[in-house]
Structure 1
Amino acid sequence: MSLPPLHSFKVFESVARLGNISAAADELHVTAGAVSQQLKTLQASLGVELLVKQGRQLVLTDSGRILQKHVASAIREIGGAVSVLRSANIKPDEVKHLTLSIPGSYGLSWLTTRLFRFMDENRHIKLKVITESGFGVIDWRRTDLAVSYGTPPESGYWWRLLHGIRLTPVCSPQLLRGDRALRHVRDLAHHRLLHEDDGRQWRRWLTEAGGQDREYTDVHFEDFGMVLEAAKDGFGVALSDEVVSARDLDDGRLVQPFTLSVPALHNYYCVCSESTRSRPEVLELIEWLAGSPAP
């Protein structure tokens, strides 16, 4: 059986990861129409539906999830093989140095894992990682590339969506037991909703879940790490991302009482100047961070 065009798999992986045709088109530097046509061609060739519309997002079908897993793995393997070949023939004077700024916030183990993998497979690039409290305080005189959390930066910077966050409630396992156990969305009325904003994100989730809105008089934490620590200690329910909270979920310190997830108001972005992006080593790191599947 002949394979569909290989480029259509790359297009599919981008849409599957970003959940949006326009975002994938920006990433691939093509038109949204070209992306849609590639998806139609791939689905027609395979004879299965891979993505379905859910609100403003495109979500994977069961078949789509199977294909996405293997395609993302294949892309990473190819990228790793290319990096190994380059590293094997690297000369001392060909080593490139990069300084990457990352947010000094909780929940970046997913990013740390990707960075170590990148350094293992790209010996020709020496990476220095620094932390800054926010995008506005990044010193671009010593920073080549930044991972920023929030909204896309204003004009003057090139940016690319790195990790599109979808949020779902998380809490301590102890909140699943007792008279006020979380079994239905209405049970949230008996528990404190922990948040790091003015309550907009919780309102968005409750609206999608058909739950009842409420006043947000509880203390709000500016540090997301404090939100998750409070959730782990049983003081309430937080909204978090499966990737950011992967370790706590795997270890059982946090559980997901409900399955519904909604797009976050803020996301992670790779940011740099237009001139810096033209450097091959910068582009390599951007592609790695954006394309490497979550651990």
Structure 2
Amino acid sequence: MVRPLAFLPYLKVFEAVSRLGTLRGAADELHLSPSAISLQLRKLGDATGIVLFERNGRNVALTEAGRDFSRTVSQALAQLSMAVRDSGRHDGHAHARSLSVSLPTALGVAWLSGAVVEFAESRSISNLIINEAIVADAVDWERSDIAVVYDNPPFAGRWWQLLSEVQLKTVCSPVLFPRLDLQHRERRLNGITLLHEDDGQEWNKWAIAARVDLQGSARVRVPSVAHAVASAVQGRGIALLSDVLTGSYLNEGRLIQPFSTAINAARAYYFVAATDRADDPLLQAFVTRIAEFLKPTKN
């Protein structure tokens, strides 16, 4: 029989391992030894009776039961931190709060800016500032409390958490669909312009996976994904983009996905913040809410 609340001392370690995916990463963050991390996880498993992790090489992966427990723990810790902070206010008056968030341009335009504004309204935040940056190194940390970046960890000296992995599919305006040669054994794009923001390697990777000939197609390198989205909607070419960015356009019929082949992007979306702000209840609530906003658009 599980002794009530016997697991509470081990939740901080569990949260760190769940978020980082490695014992070493959690040990470094919490200034503990890996053996101490393992011991606390074992005691947590014994106290709850739940099999929380399974080994994946040198890393650990949450079981299905572990993932459910992790979501509950993250929300509970955020609520407890909020309760402690609120109880420490001496004047009894609500303080005007501010929040500064950095977002990738395309993701902000697609849906995230609206989600951030809604979050601020729900929390009665009187001063919301939205900045722009794509990768963590470009974030102005003097002006940003938390960032969503399209990048790859590790982010030195920062706390981070995965928001969404990214899969890329071809999208184009419906007006271009008749030009695509999808019936021929060697499928071709028939000269439709390829829109990309990298050096073209993602298009080459996709072409191999989809067995599509790219010969004859011009290539246009744009400064950001936002430009690729806009150009595709305007019928100026075909782009490799994520449903996270194009969901609303696909639902409205302004874009279509002519091929079913998808490839993994070279980067993913992450929340990033200063390490000493990782336990801030407002930032934790922000992470939880934005992740919830994203769920309906996932594949």
Q: Give the match's secondary structure for 1:201.
A: helix
Equivalent residue letter for 2:203: W
In 2 relative to 1, CA 235–277 (structure 1 residues): closer, same or farther, beyond 3 Å? same
Equivalent residue letter for 1:176: F
Q: Distance in 2 between matches of 1:38 and 1:146?
A: 28
Q: Measure how far apart 1:155 and its partner are.
A: 1.5
Alignment of structure 1 residues 167-178 onto 2, 5 Å:
167-177=168-178
Q: Distance in 2 between matches of 1:155 and 1:290?
A: 23
Asked whether the equivalents of residues 100 and 127 of structure 1 are also in contact (C-alpha less than 8 Å), the reply is no
In 2 relative to 1, CA 200–282 (structure 1 residues): closer, same or farther, beyond 3 Å? same
Equivalent residue letter for 1:38: T
1:101-152 residue CA offsets vs partner (Å, 9 max, x unmatched): 22334663321243244234333x5562322344334332232111112333
Q: Give the match's secondary structure for 1:186.
A: coil
TM-score normalized with structure 1 length: 0.65
Q: Measure how far apart 1:94 and its partner are.
A: 5.2
Q: Distance in 2 between matches of 1:106 and 1:37?
A: 28
- Is 1:248 the counterpart of 2:273 in the alignment? no
Q: Distance in 2 between matches of 1:119 and 1:232?
A: 30
Asked whether the equivalents of residues 194 and 220 of structure 2 are also in contact (C-alpha less than 8 Å), the reply is no
In 2 relative to 1, CA 146–224 (structure 1 residues): closer, same or farther, beyond 3 Å? same
Equivalent residue letter for 1:220: R
Q: Distance in 1 between matches of 2:192 and 2:221?
A: 15
Q: Give the match's secondary structure for 2:128.
A: strand
Aligned to 2:153: 152
Aligned to 2:260: 259
Q: Distance in 1 between matches of 2:212 and 2:21?
A: 35
Q: Distance in 2 between matches of 1:161 and 1:220?
A: 27
Asked whether the equivalents of residues 168 and 240 of structure 2 are also in contact (C-alpha less than 8 Å), the reply is yes
Aligned to 1:7: none
Q: Measure how far apart 1:238 and its partner are.
A: 0.5
1:62-91 residue CA offsets vs partner (Å, 9 max, x unmatched): xxxxxxxxx9xx98xx99xx8xx98xx996
Unaligned stretches of 5+ in structure 2? 1-17, 27-40, 42-52
Q: Measure how far apart 1:96 and its partner are.
A: 4.1
In 2 relative to 1, CA 274–216 (structure 1 residues): closer, same or farther, beyond 3 Å? farther
Q: Distance in 1 between matches of 2:96 and 2:222?
A: 42
Aligned to 1:129: 129
Asked whether the equivalents of residues 105 and 225 of structure 1 are also in contact (C-alpha less than 8 Å), the reply is yes
Equivalent residue letter for 1:218: R
In 2 relative to 1, CA 107–256 (structure 1 residues): closer, same or farther, beyond 3 Å? farther
Q: Distance in 2 between matches of 1:160 and 1:93?
A: 30
Q: Distance in 2 between matches of 1:271 and 1:248?
A: 28
TM-score normalized with structure 2 length: 0.64
In 2 relative to 1, CA 170–107 (structure 1 residues): closer, same or farther, beyond 3 Å? farther
Equivalent residue letter for 1:287: T
Aligned to 2:63: 38
In 2 relative to 1, CA 108–139 (structure 1 residues): closer, same or farther, beyond 3 Å? same
Farther off after superposition, 187-196 or 168-177: 187-196
Asked whether the equivalents of residues 106 and 225 of structure 2 are also in contact (C-alpha less than 8 Å), the reply is yes
1:212-251 residue CA offsets vs partner (Å, 9 max, x unmatched): 4659862311122222222223232111111211121122
Asked whether the equivalents of residues 191 and 215 of structure 2 are also in contact (C-alpha less than 8 Å), the reply is no
Q: Distance in 1 between matches of 2:19 and 2:201?
A: 24
Aligned to 1:19: none
**RMSD between aligned residues:** 4.0
Unaligned stretches of 5+ in structure 1? 1-21, 43-70
Q: Distance in 2 between matches of 1:212 and 1:181?
A: 10
Moved over 6 A (4+): none
Farther off after superposition, 155-164 or 209-218: 209-218
Aligned to 1:271: 272
Q: Measure how far apart 1:163 and its partner are.
A: 2.2
Task: Quote the sequence identity (%).
Answer: 29
In 2 relative to 1, CA 132–229 (structure 1 residues): closer, same or farther, beyond 3 Å? closer
Q: Distance in 2 between matches of 1:107 and 1:141?
A: 20
In 2 relative to 1, CA 275–234 (structure 1 residues): closer, same or farther, beyond 3 Å? same
Q: Measure how far apart 1:195 and its partner are.
A: 0.9
In 2 relative to 1, CA 234–98 (structure 1 residues): closer, same or farther, beyond 3 Å? closer
Farther off after superposition, 274-283 or 230-239: 230-239
Equivalent residue letter for 1:130: I
In 2 relative to 1, CA 201–32 (structure 1 residues): closer, same or farther, beyond 3 Å? farther
Asked whether the equivalents of residues 107 and 245 of structure 1 are also in contact (C-alpha less than 8 Å), the reply is no
Q: Distance in 2 between matches of 1:36 and 1:218?
A: 40
